[in-house]
A and B are shown apart, each in its own frame.
Chain A
């Protein structure tokens, strides 16, 4: 009896030792952010709803509060509240085949439902189609619903190297975006302030990259499921000092974990890559399952979308024009395969789990070909699971879990990737 208690105590202590402590600071940061945004509703302060892949830096420089329906959608999904929001939109004629982020968001705008009672009403909207072409249709609907202006930042699809005319078109739109903000806020463009915001954004992005890179280490100090949570500040508030501070703290913690050999899992036998947006409502169960199977999801194609490369801090607009056009979802399959292969080699994975996400066509269509290409290049097997990022009605837990178990069991005896 005493021994058993002792064991439980030890397990508890070990769990506490492995827990990522910066999680609390992140929750504080995000709570303050949402409180501030909610409090700003109906005041003089501008609130812009913006897509996750859009340039947020100009908003920060103009002192506009950015609000992210996708981040809110993830929150509603994780809280198991998105289905009822989707149903509210479906009752208004929105098809169940539309993206569940969009349906949930439209539902939340109508009902003010969800864990925080809906998002604060926007004074304008910003949509960038570098992540999908769903977003501009969705934001057109929001624009009709709220009767507010919509700025579209159009990023044509990039095949191969970025062509000059896409870079030019992007840069002209960034300049137009700034004029749009001048008109709407009645403030002039402050270049010095913008340069500072851009510098902080690039700094936060490189810190975030360093955080993710810590997972090269065995055992990995976190899983990508942790990264999905810890990425919230880089997605929403990059360009602010708080975000820089937060990632400095997180990086310190991660480096310390690496130094002390603290892994996120009690035991790490396999290392896997994750592809696509998380299955938000199932993170806890899937996390437990992978832990039980001693499989650590060490890297993913999603969170690295906010690690910018090749930044020229002296020419932030031109850098942004290029960066926002060449995000992972806006490039051709061969370039995607190169990126996946590079991740696989860098993080020395034993395989890849792809989430075929009913709600996200640009992420999911092409996965079958990418999976084959991945195996051809690395010799590692791929598992494709069917789900939807926030509509759990499309998810079959028993089936997915069985497939994951079978897949991981079959990894035994594989050679490590060098």
Chain B
């Protein structure tokens, strides 16, 4: 495979994944959507469906305003808007995880106002990683599997589930390699490319994504590092719906060397233990993986992790990229910024995204000002 054309296709898919999803449906794939990285995709995959991620779109809202107030995040608003417009008709349904209050209510609103044949809910605790919540997560995973089986009309065999666990674990290992390459061998694969290669997997069969990553990594891992002289940065937040942020940073002479995004590093964190019963392995992975800000943090946990990531990646600055009105992220900002500044002298910038009124020019100006200020500080 030509690496260059594969990367270009990934970028195009990131820019607008929806035509690709329609294409998958035309090829006979049965698509079940998810929004949140806490969905055990393996169960959907083992049932023979293709899990695909819906991450909003830049668009003017027409239908969703009749259901969601303007102080609701633009991911929820644009996702619902596409569904109500009929633009997601290639889906058979969607899975909602109780991550934040908005997603919790969106599930009901979506179910009441759309007519997809499948609707799934996964109610996860906020006390992740504590013994007290493990039996609860197990039961939720079991119930989710039953829900998918009920829709499928037959059981999902343990063998099939174990195979899906292996495929997804392989995907996580490849993602780890991709991230290590970007972090440790600078100049071989840039931030924009590696992010595009990772997120494009949200809209592909996982087996195809694994093959693509494998081929790309084999080619890239033969190359030597070159000093590109770019300012290394870390991006932290929720999702990057489009490649704009990464493209602009590249244009402005910076490079994203690591991230703390739920469409990035947090997505593939932690493996499902293949020596366990697959359902148990999936429950444990959700329980053990890195917490998202919508889960309870053992005090200082998230800042400590972020500081370590910044140190390990050599990032000289942090860009927080959030959805406007996103309470879980907004609450963490002051203390994360303070700890970055106090303990590492690392400057940070907070950018809020509203997909229905996105302005690339404004984003560019803010980033440029941050990088100029940063260079005065030796960033």
Contact = CB atoms under 8 A, between A and B. Distances in A.
Interface of A: 92-95, 97-99, 102, 129, 132-134, 136-138, 140-141, 143-144, 150, 152, 154, 156-157, 159, 163, 165-166, 168-169, 172-173, 176, 332-334, 356, 358, 361-362, 364-369
Given A98-B331, A358-B71, A366 B296 contact: no
Interface string B93-107: 000001011101110
Interface stretch (B14-22, B35-43, B130-138, B231-239): B130-138
Interface in B320-365: 324-325, 327-328, 330-335, 337-338
Interface residues of B, number: 48
B149 interface: no
B168 to A, nearest CB: 25
Contact of A169 (B112, B135, B327, B337): B135
Contact of A140 (B100, B101, B132, B331): B331
Contact of A134 (B67, B68, B101): B101
Interface of chain B, main secondary structure: helix
Contacts of B325: 97
Nearest to A356: B69
A369 B67 contact: yes
Nearest to B300: A144
B60 interface: no
B296 A136 contact: yes
A362 B126 contact: no
A169 B133 contact: yes
26 contacts: A93-B334, A94-B334, A97-B327, A99-B327, A102-B331, A141-B335, A152-B127, A154-B126, A156-B98, A156-B124, A156-B125, A157-B104, A166-B123, A169-B132, A176-B132, A358-B71, A361-B327, A364-B69, A365-B68, A365-B101, A365-B102, A366-B109, A367-B69, A368-B66, A368-B69, A369-B113
Given A150-B299, A358-B71, A98 B330 contact: yes
A143 B135 CA distance: 27
Contacts of A159: 121, 123
B65 to A, nearest CB: 9
Contact of B327 (A98, A156, A369): A98
B140 interface: yes
B112 to A, nearest CB: 6
Given A133-B101, A134-B101, A172 B132 contact: yes
A65 to B, nearest CB: 23
B123 A144 contact: no
Contact of B296 (A144, A154, A156, A362): A154
Interface string B77-98: 0000000000000000000001
A133 B328 contact: yes
A361 B296 contact: no
B297 A140 contact: yes
Interface string B269-300: 00000000000000000000000011011011
A143 B125 CA distance: 20
Nearest to B332: A137
B334 A92 contact: yes
Contact of A154 (B72, B125, B294): B125
Interface of B: 66-69, 71-72, 98, 100-102, 104-106, 108-109, 112-113, 121, 123-127, 132-133, 135-136, 139-140, 143, 293-294, 296-297, 299-300, 324-325, 327-328, 330-335, 337-338
A26 to B, nearest CB: 31
Contact of B126 (A99, A102, A133, A367): A133
A99 B127 CA distance: 22
Nearest to A373: B112
A144 B332 CA distance: 11
A190 B100 CA distance: 37
Nearest to A172: B132
Contact of B330 (A95, A168, A169, A366): A95
Contacts of B299: 140, 143-144, 150
A97 B71 contact: yes
Contacts of B132: 169, 172-173, 176
B102 A361 contact: yes
B330 A94 contact: yes
Interface centre among A163, A172, A366 (most CB of B within 10 A): A366
A168 B325 CA distance: 33
A129 B335 CA distance: 22
Contacts of B333: 93-95
B98 A369 contact: no
B126 A129 contact: yes
B296 A369 contact: no
A154 B127 CA distance: 7
A173 B131 CA distance: 11
Contacts of B68: 365, 368
B291 to A, nearest CB: 11
Contacts of B136: 156, 165-166, 168-169
B354 to A, nearest CB: 11
B126 A152 contact: yes
Nearest to A149: B299
Given A132-B101, A137-B332, A141-B331, A97 B324 contact: yes
Instruction: Name the 6 nearest CB pairs between A and B, nearest first.
Output: A93-B334, A137-B331, A165-B139, A365-B105, A333-B108, A361-B101
Contacts of B104: 133, 157, 362
A356 B98 CA distance: 22
A172 B125 CA distance: 13
A157 B69 CA distance: 21
B340 to A, nearest CB: 12
A157 B66 contact: no
B272 to A, nearest CB: 21
